[in-house]
Amino acid sequence: MILTVTLNTALDITYRVPALRPHASHRVTDVTERPGGKGLNVARVLAALGHEVTVTGFVGGATGRVVRERLTQVADALVPVRGTTRRTVAVVDAGTGDTTQLNEPGPVITPTEWSAFQRAYSELVADADAVALCGSLPPGVPVGAYAGLVRTARAVGIPVLLDTSGEPLRRGVAARPDIIKPNAAELAELTGSHEPLRATQGARRRGAQSVVASLGAEGVIAATPEGRWRATPPARMHGNPTGAGDSVSAGLLSALVEGLTWPDRLARAVALSAATVLAPVAGEFDRAAYEDLLGRVTVTGEATAPEGQSLT
């Protein structure tokens, strides 16, 4: 079983409008709703890949009820809270295809609720093959939360992937997670370097054992104890990038659990990510495209490359 943690779960709502005009009234022509938050997105992709998945994190209120009702193909180990799970509203302009995003704040988590979560997490981790810790922290959760959750997993020898940003990432990295998966902006914020190769090395020095930096349409670069690689999709994909980063996490974690090598893990992650951009529904992946792309991702680099050596 793979455990994914989403402390700030969401109900993701998508509105389609003919054209978004500020200060006007709009008739929404199409409404879709689904459970959201990075960890739930990762879980959805893992389940679609055939993995047994358990999801945990916080859920509450009327929105939380809808999130739970709509979870499918994953085991629900979410921890109830008194506050209300947030909504995110993506307003898609049918004319331009552009999206305007409105994100509610999460519920305030009380110290008692945070303690209850930590107890539940400790029990779940013991049965897990790997753990993904994903997304932002809701108000009330200590900024060092992920550092503690990383340590709990490492203490029982379970590999842990961390995908967050800002101070929670900085604190979490110091607890030595197995993998972090920042995008270019998150990596630059963590390390102070805007040069991705240098920054991945910097993130390793800060504590991350492996760093997989997602560079959008250019694929990923990885710095790991076993070597350094770059994985690139065969072409630039056109579509909706929502959830592409979560597909990278799902690809890495599923491949790790299956015992694949780093080059094969990266190829899967990049193929899944590209197939997510191509899918008509945000955050889903196009399975046929994934299977086609898997053999066409280019992975370059070398095993056990000495620190500081160029990839090219």
Catalytic annotation, residues: 246
Q: Which residue has the tokens 């800002």?
A: 166
Pattern of binders to its own copies over 145-164, x per CB under 8 A? --------------------
Shortest distance, CB of residue 29 to its own copies, whole angstroms? 8
Q: What is the 8-class DSSP label of residue 105? A: P
Q: What are φ and ψ of residue 157, in 5° steps?
A: 75, 25
Of 80, 95, 105, 166, the one binding its own copies by CB under 8 A = 105
Helix (H, G, I), strand (E, B) or coil at 140: coil
CA atoms within 13 A on the CB side of 119: 7
Of 27, 50, 157, 308, the one binding its own copies by CB under 8 A = 27
Shortest distance, CB of residue 30 to its own copies, whole angstroms? 9
Contact present, 87 and 104 (Cβ < 8 Å): yes
Angle (CA) 179 183 185, round 5°: 130
Pattern of binders to its own copies over 60-99, x per CB under 8 A? --x--xx--x-------------------x-x-x--x-xx
What gap in Å lies between CA 163 and CA 243, rounded to an integer? 13
**Which is nearer to its own copies, 17 or 211 (by Cβ)?**
17
**Which is nearer to its own copies, 95 or 111 (by Cβ)?**
95
Mode of pairing for the β-strands spanning 227-232 and 298-303: antiparallel
Q: Which residue has the tokens 């990885």?
A: 222
Tell me which stretch binds its own copies (CB under 8 A): 14-22, 150-158, 171-179, 273-281.
14-22
> For residue 100, which amino acid is it?
T
Assess 103 for contact with its own copies (CB under 8 A).
yes
What gap in Å lies between CA 41 and CA 212, rounded to an integer? 18
- Residues that bind its own copies (rule: CB under 8 A) add up to a total of 29
Q: Which residue has the tokens 């959008």?
A: 216
Q: Which residues sit opposite 57 in a β-bridge?
A: 6
Shortest distance, CB of residue 17 to its own copies, whole angstroms? 7
Shortest distance, CB of residue 67 to its own copies, whole angstroms? 10
Contact present, 88 and 101 (Cβ < 8 Å): yes
Radius of gyration of the chain (CA): 19
**Which is nearer to its own copies, 103 or 193 (by Cβ)?**
103
Assess 294 for contact with its own copies (CB under 8 A).
no
Which residues are within 8 A (CB) of 23 and not within 5 positions of it... i.e. 6 or more apart? none
Kindly state the helix (H) or strand (E) to which residue 46 belongs, with its residue range: helix 38-48
Of 18, 29, 95, 298, the one binding its own copies by CB under 8 A = 29
Kindly state the helix (H) or strand (E) to which residue 91 belongs, with its residue range: strand 86-93
Assess 109 for contact with its own copies (CB under 8 A).
no
Shortest distance, CB of residue 21 to its own copies, whole angstroms? 8
**Which is nearer to its own copies, 59 or 221 (by Cβ)?**
59
Tell me which stretch binds its own copies (CB under 8 A): 15-23, 41-49, 119-127, 144-152.
15-23
**Which is nearer to its own copies, 96 or 304 (by Cβ)?**
96
Assess 24 for contact with its own copies (CB under 8 A).
yes
Q: Which residue has the tokens 């400790």?
A: 122
Shortest distance, CB of residue 138 to its own copies, whole angstroms? 13
Question: What is the binding site for its own copies (CB under 8 A)?
Answer: 15, 17, 20-29, 31, 62, 65-66, 69, 89, 91, 93, 96, 98-105
